[in-house]
């Protein structure tokens, strides 16, 4: 599976960082996961008080997901068997 093109986004305002962080839009996150999680689901997760989805950042009116946080979330939500699912919540 080819990952979608990554976007480089510099922080808004103030001094630009020495190295820009890499972010994905909700649509690119959906494409990264083969459309199994839609941008609408990501939007619902952002509104969820429990914080079910991956961490995100807001740049003005744009929602962007840091790739490093996506990778962390993917790792935290990986399971070896169906018996493993939900164990971290107990």
Q: CATH number, domain at 55?
A: 1.10.10
User: What integer pLDDT is reported at residue 18 of this predicted model?
Assistant: 44
Answer whether residue 77 is part of any domain: yes
Does the residue 61 lie in any domain?
Answer: yes
Domain that holds residue 47: 21-85
Count of domains for the chain: 1
- Listed as ranges, residues in the chain with pLDDT below 50 are 1-15, 18-19, 90
Which pLDDT score is estimated for 48?
A: 79
Is residue 63 assigned to a domain?
yes
Q: What is the dihedral of CA 60, 66, 72, 75, to 10 degrees?
A: 110
Q: Which pLDDT value is given to residue 88?
A: 60
Residue 27 lies in a domain: yes
Asked whether residue 34 is assigned to any structural domain, the reply reads yes
- pLDDT score at 5: 40
Domain contains 1: no
Is-contact 63 73, C-beta < 8 A? Answer: no
pLDDT value for 79: 87
Q: What is the pLDDT of residue 87?
A: 67
Q: How far out from the chain centre does Cα 17 lie?
A: 21
Residue 2 belongs to some domain of the structure: no
- Would residue 26 count as lying in a domain? yes
């Amino acid at each position: 599976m080819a990952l979608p093109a990554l976007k480089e986004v510099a922080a808004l305002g103030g001094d630009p960082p020495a190295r820009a962080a890499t972010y994905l839009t909700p649509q690119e996150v959906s494409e990264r996961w083969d459309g199994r999680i839609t941008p609408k689901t990501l939007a619902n997760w952002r509104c969820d008080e429990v914080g079910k989805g991956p961490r995100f950042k807001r740049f003005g009116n744009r929602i962007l997901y840091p790739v490093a946080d996506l990778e962390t979330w993917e790792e935290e939500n990986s399971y070896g068997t169906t018996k493993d699912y939900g164990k971290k919540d107990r």
